[in-house]
Amino acid sequence: MSAIFAASSTTYIIFKRFEYSKPVPALVLLIGVPMTLASVLRDHFAGLATAMCATAAVHWVLLTLFVAVYRISPFHPLARYPGPLPCKLSKCWMAYLAGSGGKTHVYIDRLHRLYGDVVRIGPNELSVRHKDVCATVLGAKGLPRGPYYDTREHDDGVSLDGIRDPALHAVRRRPWARAMNSASTKYFEELIQHTVSDLTGGLKERAGESIDLTEWMSFFGLDFMGRMAFSYDYNMLKEGRDTQGLRRMIDQSLVNLRWISHIPWSIPYLKMIPGASKNWDDMKAAGDKVARHRVSLGSRRPDLFHHLMDEEGHEAVRPQLEVVSVDGALAIIAGADTAATTLAHFWMFMLRHPAYFERLRKEVDAAFARDDGPDFVKQARMPYLNACLNETLRLFPPVLAGLQRRVGRGTGGRMIGTHFIPEDTQVSLVAYTVHRNPDCFSPFPDTFWPDRWLTQETYTLPTGEVVPSSDVLTRRDAFMAFSQGPMACAGKNVALAEMRAAVCAVVQRFDLVLADERALDEWEEVLQECFVSKLGKLPVQVVPRN
C-alpha cells in the first residue's frame, strides 16, 4: 500500500505541476502507473487481474482525494475567495450546469449577489464583477485569454476569437481592421440599406399575419452577414424562410461548446469519438461553401473576404483559404447571430414597454421622412435610439458566457481593485452580471430603463420619482457588450449601424402587435447560453402604418 501511495502522490504532483491534458501523458499517469505497480505487486494479490483492478482503484481514489483535499484546503491560493463547494472541487460542475440548461449566466449572477464582487467558480477560476475589472483585465495592459478559448481551435487553424497570444492576435486582426475602416464601411452601408429594404419588403408582404420576429431578425442578420462577409445571398428575407437550414446548423454546432468550454482538456478525447464533431464539421462545410463561392467571383468586391484573403497584398504572406474559411464561419456565427439576438431582445423590450416604443418612434419620425433611406451618421447621433440599444445590450449582451482571461505563471499575480488575483488563475468576466452590478449601473440595475444612457440634469425614474443626475450611475467603462481593449469585437461599428438601420426602418413603417402574451412572460425562462444566445419565439402581427 505504501508503494501505491508514493506512486499516487508523485503522479498528483506531476499533474499539478505540468497540467497534462494531451491523451498520451495523461493515460500514462492514470493507467500506465497502476498497471506497472500491478505487475510489480502481483505476488501480493490473487493473480494479475486482481492486482490490476485493486491498484488502479486505489490509485484513482488517492488521486481524487489529493485533488479534492488541496482544492478545498486553506493552502490553496484561492482559498480566501468564497464560492460553492462543487465549484471549488471541479469545473465539471459548471460544465454540467451549462449542458443541462444553458443558464450559467444566471447561476453566476446569483453567486455574486450572495458572495460579492469576486466568486470562485472553478478550482483555479474566479468570476469578477468589480467596477474596475474591464479596464484592468481587458484593457491595453490587460490579461491574455484563458483555456476557455481552446474550443476555437480546429484542424484547419484557429479563428480570430480563439487566438490566445496577444501578439499573434494583433497580426491576425489587421485585415479585420482594414475591413472595418471608413472606406470599407461605406460599402457595407450599401449592403445594410439593401438588406433593410429586403426586411421591410418581407414584413410588408406578411402584413396581418402572425410571424416569429425572432426568426425574422435571424434572417436579417444572416442575409446581411452573407453579403458583407462573402458577397453571398442566402435570400432568407425574400423567401421568408431559412433556405439552407443555417440557423439550425448554427444552433447544433454551438450547443456542445457551452459545456466543453468549461472543461477544454476534454477536447482531445472527444476527437477520438467518431462523429463527435459532426455538427461543427457541417458548420465548417457551410463556411467553406460560401468561401469557395466568393473565390469564384474574383476580387472585385471590397467585402470582408477581400480583406481576409489580403487581395490587395498588404501582408508579406497571403493567408490560406482554409484559415480564412474558419474566420468566415466565425463571421457568420458571431456577426450574424449576435446582431440578430440583440434585435430580438430589443423588440421584446419595446413590446413590453409601449411607452418607450412610442418615445422612440417620435424621435425616428422627427429625424426622417417616411421614404428616406438610412442616414448612418444621423442614426449614430440619435440619443434615444442609441440609449434603447445600449440598454438592451446591457441587460442581455449577445454573448452571455464569461470572457475568460488568465493571470500567467511567473507574473506575480494581478490586482483588480482591492482584490489580489494569484498567478495561474483564470479570471472570468460575465457581462450579464457586470452590467447588473449596482456599483456600475444604478438605480434599478435589473430594469430596462434607457434614460440612464442620456445626459440630463434630472431623471424621471421608472417609479415616477424625479432625481438629480448625481443619483444615477452609468459606468460606460464597465459596459462590455462588445468586449473592450485590443481584443474587442472588430465589427462593433458595422453591427451598430446595421441594428440602428433595422430599428429605424421597422419603427417608422410598422406597428407591432403581440400575438401571444406568454412569449414575454417566458422570454428569460427559455433563454439559453451556448456561446451566443438561444432565444424563444416572439410571435407578432406586423401592421403597416397609415
Sole residue written with cell 464582487: 117
Of 286, 283, 325, nearest to 308 (Cα)? 325
> In the structure grid, which three cell numbers stand for residue 385, read together?
435610439
Q: Give φ, ψ of 161 to 5 degrees.
A: -75, 0
**Cell 488563475 maps to which residue?**
425
DSSP structural state of residue 346 = H
CA distance 144 to 142: 7
- Cell numbers placing 107: 447561476
Q: Are 481 and 495 in contact (CB under 8 A)?
A: no
CA–CA gap between residue 388 and residue 383 (Å, rounded): 9
Three-class DSSP category at 131: coil
489 annotated as ligand-binding: yes
Nearest 5 degrees, angle CA 535-CA 538-CA 542? 145
Q: Which long-range contacts (CB under 8 A, 24 or more apart) does 193-196 make?
A: 193/373, 193/374, 193/501, 194/227, 195/220, 195/223, 195/224, 195/227, 195/237, 195/498, 196/374, 196/501, 196/502, 196/505
Which residues are known binding-site members?
A: 489
Which residues are known binding-site members for heme?
A: 489
